[in-house]
Structure 1
Amino acid sequence: MEWRKCYLDVVLVPLGLFTTMGYHVWLWHKVRTQPLSTIIGMNITGRRFWVSAMMKDNDKKNILAVQTLRNAIMGSTLMATTSILLCCGLAAVISSTYSVKKPLNDTIYGAHGEFMMAVKYVTILLFFLFSFLCHSLSIRFVNQVNLLINTPLDPMNVATPDYVTEVLEKGFFLNTVGNRLFYTALPLLLWIFGPVLVFLCSITFVPLFYNLDIVPPSRKGKVNEIENSGFESV
């Protein structure tokens, strides 16, 4: 029966997703408790100093600030465009009646009935849609910073460096979430060919994420000195 073929899909696919999710929960805890031991925490600290420096010397650095933010917007735009194009492609596949809905051959492990194939495509589609949503919101926040960062520092001005930094961090946070959703959806694309590939790809992504997110050992000594000196990242 069809439901008996779903054992691998029910076990391996959630296991791979929970592995990726568990890593990101650990990373979030690491950023909150030891921010300077992660690349994300160090970037947050660097952006806070960057916003303060740009607004203090706005007359000389306003063009630099706009160009830097424009590059961030272009990156989010590229990811949003890629996500929505993949969504359109998946939507076309779901609505079609061609044999592309079916696996390439019957030797693929796991279920490949009409219902399971619909679940696969809809799940992948949702991941890319949420990735597009996060990148779109990220562009919105960074565009706000693009205007606020050029406002003059004045006691009556509500656009203080702290407020601009807060808005900028929202934009970069949404950009990071959108990127991670996109990367998580990539292994799910292999689900079309079976759940085993999804599990193996998800497990492979964890050490890759770790190397991208954690400060290299050669720099941990300097980071420990900064933390011991009483510096805290907000």
Structure 2
Amino acid sequence: MEWKTYYLDMMLIPLGFFMTIGYHVWLWHKTRSEPFSTTIGINAHARRFWVPSMLKDIEKKNILVAQSLRNLIMGSTLMATTSILLSAGLAAIISSTYSVKKPVEDVLYGAHSEFSVALKYATLLTIFLFSFFCHTLSIRFLNQLSLLICTPQDVLSMVTPDYLGEILERGTTLNTVGNRIFYSALPLMLWIFGPVLVFLCSLAMLLVFYNLDIVCGSGKAKTILNDESNYV
């Protein structure tokens, strides 16, 4: 294993990976310290009032509840199906005989030995399997919520709005984690063509995530949500 063949892979791949991990650690800290400055914090705050609001008039809102939970379950099912299909395809590629034509200059495009190719596909397979695991757990919690939310409160005293809200939060959190793990596999898919593309794709995805996760005018959103919470 020559250094000139693998040095781009050894530098750019971990750098892109740790940038993604570092961004999500920073996002988690910002969501905990300033929840109304991120979409994740605002959505989590709104979900706390969704279950009590639906339970107040469940007889009239049962169709709305069923449709909302169905949409969440369908989204998780789609992502879980996609992840397991990609995992099956990658497993088939790994188990079969596979050869890659080496580029003209390994120094520019990275390593394409049999070991590096196997490592690339094994990494992708692991990520897709973790995404599948998170989405299947999300479906489990959302299905549980869809059954319990219509249960009469006087029949099962332990099925409280707080308990149902916790189930909803677990299901949606696992859905979000599964999606982020799935998205992290997209730059690694470009690893097949070289480490430079992985690094550039990681930078581009961080910019996209930042624009989607950070909310401008968080003070106004906080005021609106606090006013709404007073009426719940």
RMSD (Å) for aligned C-alpha atoms: 2.0
Matched letter for residue 220 of structure 1: S
Alignment-derived partner of residue 120 in structure 1? 120
In the TM superposition, 1:70-149 aligns within 5 A as 70-99=70-99, 102-103=100-101, 105-107=103-105, 109-149=109-149
In the alignment, the residues of structure 1 paired with residue 88 and residue 158 of structure 2 have an alpha-carbon distance, to the nearest angstrom, of 42
Q: Please, which runs of 5 or more residues in structure 1 have no aligned partner?
A: none
The answer to whether the 8 A contact 2:9-2:110 is kept is: yes
In the alignment, the residues of structure 1 paired with residue 85 and residue 155 of structure 2 have an alpha-carbon distance, to the nearest angstrom, of 46
In the alignment, the residues of structure 2 paired with residue 18 and residue 34 of structure 1 have an alpha-carbon distance, to the nearest angstrom, of 23
Structure-1-length-normalised TM-score: 0.91
* 3-state SS, counterpart of residue 82 of structure 2: helix
Alignment-derived partner of residue 33 in structure 1? 33
The answer to whether the 8 A contact 1:134-1:175 is kept is: yes
Q: Deviations over 1:45-95 (max 9, x none)?
A: 111111111111111111210111010000000000011111111111111
The answer to whether the 8 A contact 2:20-2:202 is kept is: yes
* 3-state SS, counterpart of residue 154 of structure 2: coil
In the TM superposition, 1:1-234 aligns within 5 A as 1-99=1-99, 102-103=100-101, 105-107=103-105, 109-154=109-154, 157-215=157-215, 217=216, 219-223=217-221, 225=223
The answer to whether the 8 A contact 2:46-2:225 is kept is: no
In the alignment, the residues of structure 2 paired with residue 153 and residue 170 of structure 1 have an alpha-carbon distance, to the nearest angstrom, of 21
What percent identity do the matched residue pairs reach? 64
Matched letter for residue 9 of structure 1: D
The number of equivalent residue pairs is 227
The answer to whether the 8 A contact 2:102-2:112 is kept is: no
In the alignment, the residues of structure 1 paired with residue 115 and residue 132 of structure 2 have an alpha-carbon distance, to the nearest angstrom, of 26
Q: Which runs of 4+ in 1 moved over 6 A?
A: none
Describe the shift of the 1:88–1:28 C-alpha distance in structure 2 as closer, same or farther (beyond 3 A).
same
Q: Please, which runs of 5 or more residues in structure 2 have no aligned partner?
A: none
* 3-state SS, counterpart of residue 24 of structure 1: helix
C-alpha deviation, 1:226, in angstroms: 5.8
